Structure 1
């Protein structure tokens, strides 16, 4: 079964690489706007109070985070569907998850104020 995982992991890596390559030019062009939107989303979430937070600001913050996560969702979904019936498959899934978390860390590090991100398994 571990031999079947190698093509899967290579496909996963190719999807991630092509997604980042295709969006690289557009990403560079609108990166400052995306960073500003993410900074605003962080402010909204960190100061959230059901009684006083503007519902429209909250909707924008959620949309900003959803948009930032969209390119990475297929990768995490594919990893969650990986089989884990053998020790080799468990290791392969753990390695794929670690690689995806590193990709997520880099992605969010470009968008978030301060650029420092730590991904926790507790999410």
Structure 2
């Protein structure tokens, strides 16, 4: 993961993405490389690649609420509230006592959007 940071510091996001992918092969049970790759792809403006990296983190650790929260929060940042609700709600289901669930927070906003009938 240090190599990813070095490449980012050097201003080479493509090399940082490649380093994150290599890290994932070295530690396939860790979510950190996928989450780091998602961040790199976000910086590169590659929305779909970032979503895929977040989804890979979920596939790696589907019982981990942090993976679901990361994807849901990313989708929330893109104003994709329908998908954000699905993933944030899954994170909530896995860890309802988390401090991240604040009244009026992303989950509540996305839920209100869904409840208004704006999602198909």
TM-score (norm 1): 0.35
Q: Kindly name which structure, 1 or 2, has the bigger radius of gyration based on alpha carbons.
A: 1
